[in-house]
Homo-oligomer: A and B are copies of this chain.
Amino acid sequence: MIDFTDELRLHNLKATPQRLAMSDAMYVNGHINIDALYLIMLKKFHSISLATIYKNINLMLENSFIQEVKIPQDKSVYELSKDIHSHLVCQKCKEVFDINLELETVLSEAQQQSGFKICKTSLVFSGICKKCQ
């Protein structure tokens, strides 16, 4: 179990046992939604409040310690912040995977066509993963 104390403090978040456990759950699972996270947390903290989960998720988002990924026709999942990447979601097992893709070309084409100043790209593919095929 990795210690996220320093990482939390770097993002101006106090390193409480609950936050350390949440960080670990996201690290271990990669991507996780609120319900699943709450269930995991309940195992370690018998009386943790769902409000604590929400409060921490929101603070961690505000401080960019984590990111939200909106999944088509499903609940959002959360992941520890890392280098920019895209996502794949399996419609069968619901698992979410990271993928690194070269999007410079598409992005500059989008900026040119639209006149937008783009600062964020959110790309999610839906399909069937290797295992589920």
Interface, chain A (partner B; CB < 8 A)? 68, 70-73, 86, 88, 90-91, 97, 99-103, 105-107, 109-110, 113-130, 133
Contact = CB atoms under 8 A, between A and B. Distances in A.
Given A70-B70, A122-B123, A129 B116 contact: yes
A46 B59 CA distance: 41
A92 to B, nearest CB: 10
A114 B129 contact: yes
A110 B114 contact: no
A106 B103 contact: yes
A120 B114 contact: no
27 contacts: A70-B70, A72-B122, A86-B110, A88-B116, A88-B118, A91-B119, A99-B113, A99-B114, A101-B113, A102-B106, A102-B109, A103-B106, A105-B105, A106-B106, A110-B125, A114-B129, A114-B130, A115-B130, A116-B128, A116-B130, A118-B127, A119-B128, A120-B125, A121-B126, A122-B122, A122-B124, A122-B125
